[in-house]
Homo-oligomer: A and B are copies of this chain.
């Protein structure tokens, strides 16, 4: 008898999470009876699922190049009771396999659902497909979603920095805030297309190393003095010195929405250097932009979905699909998998010191994921700068 398999999407959408869904359903729809779970784990708890008939499958397949999560996603806090009820819903529908596309929280919940089902004596197969723009999932070389977000950030920071470079008689400093939660992968990606020291971004701050207030002011002052402008990138999870907490915009369903560190830095620059500074949060396009999505990222997201289908057919369980990097002939990748509990044990994966201390090594690692087609712009020529408005109040001018 054909397996009955439910598939859902959870957490913040990406430019390519639907590509994973399409890869999965295209590989499996002839082998199994498929069900879509709506709005992530909330739909599982609320029994909000639907059999994927040919019309629904056709509609899903239209989303291969479409950002967002077409089944609906979301953030949801499970309790033991909610898990048990979710499993009863699966049981009553005769669904014996549950596949979710998501990040750290999604994988941890999948593992717990599996354990809960075992206690309920229900034989439930669970498989996870990785997805995160933050790239903070352990055990995989990188996660689908990251390459597209990195591409958006690298091109946006390059473009916004060129715009600032041209406007230095009007404003001198832009502080661009990236996603990434507690990790610096995305912020670091902003330097990928920098072409020479006059080009931006001039400084990048990652949460792995707290910002030193005095050094930050020195950095900005030095860039404005030398190039006439300073493009600064800061990850949303950064803290200033070792004392300050992360800056939070809101708390929703118990989850902190980070955001605002760029505005804190803008105020510091305005007050202490007396130059025009503008904070900008790069916003939802980081995870949403379909026009800037990385083709390589889309291919890998699709293949991750197909690999999950293969694992379902092979009766594997409690595993997450992983991407392995192979470099025999330039960049290439292969699909693999690892136990879900190992992903959970790994916790958040941070940007390693080796990449922070050697940005070129990081860019070489990143380039195939964000797109080898990306070219840096022509060099920035030195121009005479006449800004007499800098107060340099805290820094002796040199």
**Complexed CA–CA distance, A357 and B93 (Å):** 50
Interface residues of A in 247-284 (CB under 8 A from B): 250, 252-253, 276, 280-284
| Closest chain B residue, CB of each to CB of A169 | B74
Interface residues of A in 26-80 (CB under 8 A from B): 38-40, 42, 46, 48, 59, 62-63, 66-76
The answer to whether the Cβ of A313 comes within 8 Å of any Cβ in the partner chain is no
Determine, out of A183-191, A206-214, A288-296, the stretch whose residues face the partner at the interface.
A288-296
The answer to whether the Cβ of A170 comes within 8 Å of any Cβ in the partner chain is yes
The answer to whether the Cβ of A396 comes within 8 Å of any Cβ in the partner chain is no
Give the number of times this chain occurs in the complex, counting copies: 2
Q: A63-B378, A288-B162 are in contact. Are A12 and B155 (CB under 8 A)?
A: no
The answer to whether the Cβ of A226 comes within 8 Å of any Cβ in the partner chain is no
Q: Give the secondary structure class of A's interface.
A: loop
**Complexed CA–CA distance, A13 and B170 (Å):** 12
Residues of B within 8 A of A121 (CB): none
Which residue from B48, B72, B170 sits with its C-beta under 8 Å from A166?
B72
Task: Annotate A360-398 by CB proximity to B: 1 below 8 A, 0 otherwise.
Answer: 000000000000000001100101101000000000000
Residues of B within 8 A of A283 (CB): 160, 280-283
Judge whether B46 and A386 touch: CB under 8 Å: yes
Task: Annotate A1-33 by CB proximity to B: 1 below 8 A, 0 otherwise.
Answer: 000000001001101000000000000000000
Task: Point out which of A168, A281, A283, A290 has the most chain B C-beta atoms below 10 A from its C-beta.
Answer: A283
Task: Point out which of A75, A162, A163 has the most chain B C-beta atoms below 10 A from its C-beta.
Answer: A163
A25 CB → nearest B CB, Å = 15
**Complexed CA–CA distance, A306 and B377 (Å):** 23
**Complexed CA–CA distance, A285 and B42 (Å):** 35
Which residue from B71, B253, B276, B289 sits with its C-beta under 8 Å from A250?
B276
Judge whether B280 and A66 touch: CB under 8 Å: no
**Complexed CA–CA distance, A103 and B83 (Å):** 60
A377 CB → nearest B CB, Å = 5
Which residue from B13, B156, B377 sits with its C-beta under 8 Å from A285?
B156
Please give me the 5 A-B residue pairs with the lowest Cβ-Cβ distance, nearest first: A68-B162, A74-B169, A69-B166, A62-B378, A159-B288
Q: List 15 A-B contacts (CB under 8 A).
A: A15-B159, A38-B384, A40-B169, A42-B169, A68-B159, A68-B163, A68-B165, A74-B166, A74-B167, A159-B289, A159-B291, A160-B283, A171-B252, A280-B283, A283-B283
